[in-house]
Chains A and B, each alone.
Chain A
């Protein structure tokens, strides 16, 4: 898109796990880019490769069972195949991660303050006292009341929302330029979800960092992200700005995701329309388009193309689908949109 190198560039990423049953192709040729100050949403069902991709960015997979191929350039630094010592300097410093379940993702054995201060000391060489002050400051920034007292609490003494805030504080303690949030609000109730998302946006405006927001909740992305990547079976199937993808989705899978979402305007009696079938096995993905066994548009494409030929995702806005863009628009406008209301 632009001549300059993007801040984060993932190109042709493959992540494979060796298991007893065979090789799992968890990420199968994924490319995306992200600039500073922007937020990328990655959506998809469980097992679509969202989390695996982002663990790969930080090199958190077990190298003994995982094979990673491709290129991950963060601010010009190649991360795939980088030595552990180099990755340790990136993790928590330049790129940090927020995990889904703050109860299990924080260690129960150490105080919140210590866990926040730890990466700060490691990456900046601060003293114990400085790091502690920094932890208090971070807790204050993420809206924890009485931060000077709460810094000595253990995670179990925090509520779920507060724990997630503490985790955000921990991730942001070194002012990372890339923040990966892996379903940061899934374990929280709805009002707290909104608070956490607002907090992330506020902090982004202050620091100008890039954010990757992984979620399966399209409601979350609508108000939070700039660009959207829809993943299916380890591949990106649709890409665009959030307005484009949610307003005029092109891929039949995205239509299915939108259709399976409950709406406030719909009749409670009316059943949700889930996508038929289950996500494919990543041990032996179906030939052709991996979505074709669940796709209602196979007939519209005609012939055997969906079963034999894998559709490519075009650069920029587009969907990895054999339907022509005109047909995609026509089917969405004629058949899908009326049902979504």
Chain B
């Protein structure tokens, strides 16, 4: 297990470095001039040159990349002063340290992700198992059609309806907003509830369908029949034998979904005006804000890569046939 973790972590670092380099170099393929953003109305070529020099944009791209990576691990000195590690530089658009913005935004993304994931995992897998247990009956058909509808819905559509009905129409809830859980857990919960539920709808549809099909497949397996032939009760057969077999693919997909949500739930954040990493990623692209874009990218792909390692390790726990090497 330890060898596996070391080997995979090294691989992960290589992947993250590659992605950072690709992002960095692609950025300069854009037909835009970041310095113009901070130059103001009466911009002169001289002023532009000064800004480019301050931002380090006058140097060759590989050198810029080198300084950037150096900053992450060892800190970096700018004309405005020293930026301690991990230094992702200063935003081109608002001149704030990027790392501070990330630290500021991450709790929102974390809250959306963990709460939403908890809802869709429990409800989605639960519905899938109920449908599998009653496969072929009207219960199964009801949930199958429901998940078909749910899968066709979009977050912005359901989100806007939820806001219109629950907030503007019935006044049952306030507009979704992020309040730190450390300050007011109740407000945190009520503020995130609508985003969680809306984000979950599409995932619930996927997870219930996947769980159902996995369970139905497992229930037809020979070893499940053997378990019945031993005289084990229906419940034991269902939960101990079939469910165990259905677990591995669900864990795989869940790990990857969770990883990508950590990188920012863009549509959810926009729909509910939440300021998480997803919104930051979109604005950094439109504002050609390289340091912010890089930081969001790195956080996002680190989350996905780590999620993949965790999934593989979980596999070894779930399935004794899997040997990690």
* A binding-site residues for B, Cβ under 8 Å: 58, 60, 64, 84, 88-93, 96-97, 99, 101, 104-110, 118-119, 122-123, 154, 156, 167, 170
In angstroms, Cα B230 to Cα A99, docked, is: 12
Q: Is the CB of B230 within 8 A of A91?
A: yes
* B binding-site residues for A, Cβ under 8 Å: 136, 221-234, 241, 244-245, 318-321
Given A88-B232, A122-B231: A154 and B223 interface contact (C-beta under 8 Å) = no
List B contacts of A93 (CB < 8 A): 231
With A96-B229, A118-B230, A154-B321 known, 19 other A-B pairs at CB within 8 A are A64-B136, A84-B234, A88-B232, A88-B233, A89-B231, A91-B231, A97-B226, A97-B229, A99-B222, A99-B225, A99-B226, A107-B224, A107-B241, A107-B244, A108-B245, A109-B244, A109-B320, A123-B231, A154-B320
9 closest A-B pairs by CB: A92-B231, A91-B231, A92-B230, A119-B230, A104-B222, A107-B223, A97-B229, A105-B222, A154-B320
Q: B179 CB to closest chain A CB, in angstroms?
A: 43
Instruction: Tell me which of B226, B229, B233, B234 contacts A107 (CB under 8 A).
Output: B226
In angstroms, Cα B9 to Cα A129, docked, is: 41
In angstroms, Cα B136 to Cα A123, docked, is: 31
In angstroms, Cα B224 to Cα A110, docked, is: 12
List B contacts of A122 (CB < 8 A): 230-233
Q: Is the CB of B228 within 8 A of A91?
A: yes
Q: Is the CB of A60 within 8 A of B244?
A: no
In angstroms, Cα B228 to Cα A90, docked, is: 11
- Complex: chain A residue closest to B243, CB-CB: A109
Q: Is the CB of A106 within 8 A of B223?
A: yes
Q: B132 CB to closest chain A CB, in angstroms?
A: 13
List B contacts of A109 (CB < 8 A): 241, 244-245, 318-320
- Complex: chain A residue closest to B320, CB-CB: A154
- Complex: chain B residue closest to A120, CB-CB: B230
- Complex: chain A residue closest to B321, CB-CB: A156
Instruction: Tell me which of B225, B245, B319, B321 contacts A60 (CB under 8 A).
Output: B225
Q: A189 CB to closest chain B CB, in angstroms?
A: 20
Instruction: Tell me which of A84, A105, A156, A167 contacts B320 (CB under 8 A).
Output: A156
List B contacts of A60 (CB < 8 A): 225, 228-229
- Complex: chain B residue closest to A97, CB-CB: B229
Q: Is the CB of B234 within 8 A of A106?
A: no
Q: A193 CB to closest chain B CB, in angstroms?
A: 20
Q: A187 CB to closest chain B CB, in angstroms?
A: 12
Q: List 17 A-B contacts (CB under 8 A).
A: A88-B232, A96-B229, A97-B226, A99-B229, A104-B222, A105-B223, A105-B225, A106-B226, A107-B223, A107-B224, A107-B227, A107-B245, A108-B223, A118-B232, A119-B232, A122-B231, A154-B320
Q: Is the CB of B229 within 8 A of A92?
A: yes
Given A64-B136, A154-B320, A156-B321: A105 and B231 interface contact (C-beta under 8 Å) = no
In angstroms, Cα B133 to Cα A64, docked, is: 13
List B contacts of A99 (CB < 8 A): 222, 225-226, 229
Q: B313 CB to closest chain A CB, in angstroms?
A: 17
List A contacts of B226 (CB < 8 A): 97, 99, 105-107, 167, 170
Q: B48 CB to closest chain A CB, in angstroms?
A: 65
In angstroms, Cα B228 to Cα A88, docked, is: 8
List A contacts of B225 (CB < 8 A): 60, 99, 105
Q: B305 CB to closest chain A CB, in angstroms?
A: 28
- Complex: chain B residue closest to A84, CB-CB: B234
